[in-house]
Structure formats: structure tokens, C-alpha cells
């Protein structure tokens, strides 16, 4: 069956966690940060079940600390974490070779901040011919309007803005999928 080329496929997806660090999350609106963490953990659990590769980055961890504990605990054991000072993940040493090694072209981005690291990563990945999906309910910025305008800019540049439920159901594609019951239980 032919499907639309922007529908996510498990065999072509990579989940990228952008700078989901505790000290950075602490300056976000509490409800936004909590939603971002919860939805990211659901995506991580589904990715692990469906054997979707996961890559993570940390922006200047010496100053901003490591990945939020709840998110780090949900990362697959083989998920590399790349330290960076560049705002785009593409500028992190080793990130692009690791991404290329997956031989997958659909990138699902979650993390913070929407208008800085997520935005620059999405645009750089698109420039490298990746199909980029930004999960709007798994990203945040310190100010709501920064996230709003980042999402507008991303859409104007051809980046797909989605939500975590759409990602889960696109990965499943059918209620007859053997993991449907377990993955649909991740919906909050």
C-alpha cells in the first residue's frame, strides 16, 4: 500500500532528544516542562519497544548539568549522548556520523529550547535532506511566544510540526499491530 511520504515509518525513524537537561528545564514554565518530559518518556518507551534508534544531546553540561534523570532513565542503554556548545545538534562532535550510521531519514525532534537548539537543529537537518518532525507537545521555551514563533518559522521552512500521539499512531499504523495495546497505554 502506498502511503504519504511524510507519515512516519518505524524503519526510517530516529528520535533525537535535544538538551533535556535539569537546569535548563528548571527555568521553563513548570507545566510545559512536565508535559515535555512526560511526552518524551512515552516516545522513548515506544521507540525502545519498536527498536527505533535514539540520539541525545546536552548543551554545555558543565554549566547546565546532565540530562534530566527521568529522561535519562528512559533512554535505551545504547543511546549515545553528545555534548555540545553549538546550538544545533549537527555541530556536536560525532552527532552527524552517528545519525548517518542509522541510515534513516525521518528525524523526530523533542527538547528545549524550541526557538534556539530545536529550531537550529531542525533547519540544519533539513538542509542535510532529512525529513524533520518537531513534536510540539514535547518541546518548550522559557517564553510561550518564543515557542509559538519558532513553530511558525519551522512550518514555513517545510519542517513538519506534529504531536506525540500522532508520532505513536504513525509508528503503529494499525490497531492490529502486535504492540498496539502496550504503546496505546502510553497515551496520557
Interatomic CA distance for residues 180 and 187, integer angstroms: 11
Active site residue 117: yes
129 phi-psi bin (left φ>0, alpha ψ -120 to 50, beta other): left
From the list 89, 90, 117, 140, the catalytic residue is 117
Give the number of C-alpha atoms closer than 13 A to the C-alpha of residue 186, restricted to the C-beta side. Answer: 24
- All three cell numbers of 170, joined, read 504513525
Active site residue 19: yes
Do residues 163 and 136 touch, judged by C-beta distance below 8 A?
Answer: yes
Collect contacts of 60-66 with beta carbons under 8 A, ≥24 apart.
60/84, 60/85, 61/21, 63/23, 64/19, 64/21, 64/23, 64/24, 65/21, 65/22, 65/23, 65/24, 66/21, 66/22
CA angle 69, 72, 78 (to 5 degrees): 160
From the list 32, 84, 140, 147, the catalytic residue is 84
| Catalytic residue positions, numbered | 19, 84, 117
Amino acid at each position: 500500500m502506498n502511503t504519504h511520504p511524510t507519515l512516519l515509518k518505524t524503519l526510517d525513524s530516529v528520535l533525537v532528544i535535544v538538551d533535556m537537561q535539569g537546569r535548563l528545564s528548571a527555568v521553563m514554565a513548570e507545566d510545559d516542562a512536565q508535559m515535555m518530559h512526560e511526552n518524551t518518556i512515552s516516545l522513548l518507551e515506544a521507540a525502545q519497544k519498536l527498536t527505533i534508534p535514539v540520539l541525545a544531546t546536552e548543551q554545555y553540561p558543565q554549566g547546565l548539568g546532565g540530562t534530566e534523570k527521568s529522561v535519562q532513565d528512559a533512554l535505551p542503554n545504547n543511546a549515545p549522548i553528545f555534548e555540545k556548545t553549538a546550538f544545533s545538534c549537527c555541530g556536536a562532535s560525532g552527532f552527524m556520523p552517528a545519525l548517518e550510521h542509522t541510515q534513516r531519514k525521518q528525524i523526530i525532534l523533542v527538547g528545549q529550547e524550541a526557538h534556539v537548539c530545536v529550531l537550529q537543529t531542525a533547519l540544519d537537518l533539513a538542509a542535510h535532506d532529512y525529513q524533520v518532525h518537531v513534536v510540539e507537545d514535547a518541546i518548550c521555551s522559557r517564553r510561550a511566544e518564543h515557542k509559538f514563533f519558532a513553530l511558525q518559522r519551522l512550518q514555513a521552512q517545510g519542517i513538519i510540526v506534529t504531536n506525540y500521539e500522532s508520532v505513536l499512531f504513525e509508528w503503529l499504523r494499525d490497531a492490529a499491530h502486535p504492540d498496539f495495546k502496550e504503546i496505546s497505554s502510553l497515551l496520557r
